[in-house]
Amino acid sequence: MNSSAYQGFSERLIDAMIESGYSARAGSWSRFPVEIEPLRREAGAKSLTTARKYLEGSAFPRRYRLELIADWLRVNTCLLYTSDAADDMQ
């Protein structure tokens, strides 16, 4: 995957997290519009750094973690994986 694919995943992930109620709390110092800790916990990521990289678009989770994230957010795995699926869902 190239960096633009990672960035697209990041944008779809953030959108899905916001829709699922994981927006950053008011007054949060986070530079992301969502909470990082729930993502780290639910994806089974080893660190907040890994979760942050997913949100920055600089890393992509392995398939089993992607499936965990999709189940947690109650979205189709393909919706997170590719923009083609996201376009088809609209």
| Residue 29 identity (one-letter amino acid) | W
Backbone phi, then psi, for 84, in 5-degree steps? -60, -45
Enter the pTM of the model: 0.87
Tell me how far CA of residue 57 lies from CA of 41, 84, 90, in angstroms.
18, 17, 22
Q: What does the alpha-carbon distance between residue 64 and residue 26 come to, in Å, rounded to a whole number?
A: 32
DSSP 2-17: -HHHHHHHHHHHHHHH
Report pLDDT for 84: 67
Q: Per the structure block, which two tokens stand in for 68?
A: 């965990």
What would the pLDDT profile of 57-85 be if each residue is shown by its tens digit? 999 999 999 999 999 999 999 999 887 64
